[in-house]
Amino acid sequence: MAARTHTAWLAYALLIATAMAWGANAVAGKLAVGHISPLLLTHLRWGLAALVALPVAWPHLKRDAPVIRRHAALLAAYGGVGFGGFNAALYTALNHTSTINVVIEQAAMPGVIFALNFLVLRQRTRGAQLVGFAMTVAGVAVTVSAGDPARLFGLDLNRGDALMLVAITCYGGYTAALRMKPQMHWLSFITVLCAAAWLASLPFAAWELSGPRGLWPDLQGWAVVAFAATMPGLVAQSCFIRGTEMIGSNRAGLFINLVPIFGTLFSMLFIGEVLRGYHVAALALVLGGIGLAERYRR
């Protein structure tokens, strides 16, 4: 029992650190607007992350080479969709909506995780988790409607909010699919996924640069690339993978709901965004949802 408790608390610490880094990632993405175009940011971020990880991961990559070759398609999907697709949609969304909206909308990810775990993997979902998820969905609905339910019924969402629905679908699917992760060293895994995301984002970055919206990074843009590659990229993804291994994807996915808390605080501190009444209501629903699901998880 003591060992199980220690494992749970270690997983919680890893997942809270992940949420902090991802909350900061949304702020970094907002700071990138006007300094680097979003698809290029995605491409450069994962390329730099792969380069940083490669020297440390090289011995493990050589040992895991047979596993990597055998599961190449699955690993490419993990990196291309979970890493590349999610960040491309998120960074593009930040060009059209507020950082606070983006981080609160990420609370819908557990719903995708629950649904895929149940429909595809036939994993049981507990009643408290469903109630907690319903509360987080309500929080997201309050956010995207700016406190006006009529906007939801009229599908009056801006482009950024719509793109965030794409983003959470990408990462929710990736998280649920982590149950099928091949047995390999975590450094090998994260490095291969970074490289896959870099390759998958290359044609999109090239397309963006060829058009009027392409923007090569200036000094601030490069600073965002460096930060996004290390903290929300390598460090946070590694923590999330390990935390998911320790307590399962359903429970780990709920900690994504802490991203709005940290992201909102960072947005107010570093960008000066305004916290409105409907944001407070949404955050209360998100916190209540994760608390309920964790309290009655057994």
Angstrom CA distances, 207 to 153, 173, 203, 212, stand at 35, 26, 6, 10
Instruction: Show the CA angle centred on residue 175, arms to residues 260 and 197, nearest 5°.
Output: 95
How many angstroms separate the CA atoms of 122 and 292, rounded?
Answer: 23
Tens of pLDDT along 37-74? 999 999 999 999 999 999 999 999 999 999 999 999 99
Query: pLDDT value at position 147?
Result: 64
Name the 3-class secondary structure at 276.
coil
Written as six digits, the tokens of 42 are 């995605």
Structure confidence at residue 230 as a pLDDT band (50, 70, 90): very high
Question: Per-domain residue ranges for the chain?
Answer: 1-296
Tens of pLDDT along 146-161? 666 665 555 456 788 7
Q: Is the pTM of this model over 0.85?
A: no
